[in-house]
Amino acid sequence: MLFILDRGKIAMKRVVEIIHNALFGVVQDRRGGIATFLAATIIPLVAFTGLAVDTARGYLMKSRLSYALDSAALAGGRHMDDPVKRDLMIDKFFHANFPDNYMGATITGPTVVVNPGNNTITLDASASMSTSLMRVLGVNNMEVGGNTEVKLSSVNLEVSLVLDITGSMGGQPIIDLREAAKDLVDIIVKDSQSPHYSKVALVPYAAGVNVGAFAAQVRGAIPPAKPMSNATKTNPVAVSATSHGFADNDKVYVNGVSGMWQLNNKFFSVDDPTANTFELRNESNSSNIDGSGYSNYSSDGNIWCTVTGCQYFRFTNANDDLQTFQPSTCATERTGADAYTDVAPSTALVGIHYPAPNNPCPASEIVPLTSDKTLLKDAIDDFDALGSTAGQTGIAWGWYMISPNFGYLWPADSQPAAYGADELLKVAIIMTDGEFNTGYADGVVAQDSGSGSGSNSYKIDKDATNGVAAQHAGHGSSYSQALQLCAAMKTAGILIYTVGFNIGGLTEAEDIIELCATDPSYVYMADGGTELAAAFQAIAVNVSQLRLSK
């Protein structure tokens, strides 16, 4: 006998008849006595138990089948104009969500029916599995069926994908992330960009966000060195540099001098400056630089400023020692009145980044909004895991990439639409595998940054400039900044999905995942690569704007 469970209706008339006959047939036959009756009731009791167990298994299988069909139809719907790719995506997502031999089932389908006239795809599939206890009634197999239809109901879609590529993502996690992110791109970005477009921007983050060639525009240009034209063999050495702009006791760094090589690669204090000259004292300004025994100056020489924003930043570290860093093409958090806004960098620059030797700027750069799936997936394939977690900067750039205020930076096709435009959806997807632990002061990791952000020798002797908001007392600056940015993004009308990857037990990370999301239905927790892939697929399906029509 075949037991059919389809669309929530149980065809079990025959089962009930068998139980009825078994039970009441014994009751009507009094000759066997009570013992015979009790013995006979075992069969219907087993049958009822089997019915409950196998029906539950059937509903579980049907639920899984329905989810697999929905996911497959939505994935295939993104490729309505390419039948080969459409069917490949349907097959891929169906079998990813309903694996072969799931619960021992034999799958038939899915069959695909496309109606170009009304822009729909209909999928049908069924699955048959063996029963367990219901076999005593002669019911050996159970079959469930599923059907779904999707209709393309599109809007313009701008998605920023904010991805954690910090050191803790090394090994299998970064591999899992690459695959999951590429699958998401395949679903969200349509082959046809008409009549509506669907674009994705990438924001890989670690100790900062690498903005590449846009660095000078967003965090300010690095001032060039002042060219040296002469240096005297006197006590003190007198340096000539036209319109140098240095003030008394400014610290400078000198390199590239020909002839008077003794000045190279050293820090000095400026003394007695005029418009075009100044004298050299030692860095602590305690004594003159006596050049009477130096070699004759020949030519060249670079004189660099050494404050934040300069090529060589000289600072006191958290161990009270002097340290020197050079800037990267990464950006860090914006400070001041516009710290938690998306005003253009021409109005308020974002933070410069001075990386420590063992906590570099990630090599992977941002990718502005694009519908070029090859470009996006090639960039994702290049992700490497390294560095600490300045998640607040990742979140900020997730906003900036879909903000019209930053649009002037990007090529025309990558410029975000205005807020509130008709038929437009702006979405940020934020993924992390741990707690945000890296805040900044003057572009260097702050001394109050959390565990995992580096040693004190590579931290500046200042707390994070942005500090901790009153409502986040007891937490770190990175946490506080992240939540303020998320709140501002949601106010701007951006939908936020969050994904926590292997973060079990990390309270602050869990809080950020839960509090940053638009609402609890936008939160995904994933343990392991399979769950991460499933989370990204689910999010992609949700934002794809394909509507299940039945």
> Per-residue DSSP letters for 302-317?
EEEE-STTSSSEEEEB
Task: Please report, for residues 246, 256, 289, 299, 375, the alpha-carbon distance to residue 271 in angstroms, rounded to integers and kept in the order given.
Answer: 9, 21, 11, 22, 53
Pairing of strands 424-432, 322-325: unpaired
Domains in the chain (CATH in brackets) are 2-152 (no CATH), 156-218+329-548 (3.40.50.410), 226-308 (2.40.30.180)
**CA 432/CA 140 separation, integer angstroms:** 47
> Is pTM beyond 0.95 here?
no
Residue tagged 């090639």 (tokens): 378
Backbone angles phi, psi at 328, to 5 degrees: -110, -175
CB 94 within 8 A of CB 72: yes
CB 435 within 8 A of CB 509: yes
pLDDT at 82: 75
pLDDT at 6: 47
The answer, yes or no, to whether the previous bond of 223 is cis (omega within 30 of 0) is: no
pLDDT at 286: 95
pLDDT at 109: 86
Token couple for 432: 């992390």
CA angle, corner 260, sides to 256 and 264, nearest 5?
40
Residue whose C-alpha is closest to residue 78's, from 152, 159, 184, 157: 152
CB 529 within 8 A of CB 181: no
Helix (H) or strand (E) holding 218: helix 215-219
* Collapsed DSSP state (helix, strand, coil) of residue 123: strand
**CA 328/CA 333 separation, integer angstroms:** 14
pLDDT at 8: 39
pLDDT at 63: 86
pLDDT at 403: 98
Token couple for 97: 């969500």
Kindly write down the DSSP assignment for every residue of 486-531, as one continuous string: HHHHHHTT-EEEEEEES-TT-HHHHHHHHHHSSSGGGEEEE-SHHH
Helix (H) or strand (E) holding 56: helix 33-77
pLDDT at 44: 61
Q: What is the residue-level pLDDT of the chain in tens, covering all 550 positions?
A: 444 454 434 444 454 455 455 445 544 544 455 555 555 555 565 556 656 676 777 788 888 888 889 888 888 877 776 788 888 989 999 989 988 888 788 888 899 998 876 678 899 999 888 876 666 667 777 788 888 888 766 789 999 999 999 999 999 999 999 999 999 999 999 888 888 899 999 999 999 999 999 999 999 999 999 999 999 999 999 999 999 999 999 999 999 999 999 999 999 999 999 999 999 999 999 999 999 999 999 999 999 999 999 999 999 999 999 999 999 999 999 999 999 999 999 999 999 999 999 999 999 999 999 999 999 999 999 999 999 999 999 999 999 999 999 999 999 999 999 999 998 999 999 999 999 999 999 999 999 999 999 999 999 999 999 999 999 988 899 999 999 999 999 999 999 999 999 998 889 999 999 999 999 999 999 999 999 999 999 999 888 755 445 4
pLDDT at 20: 52
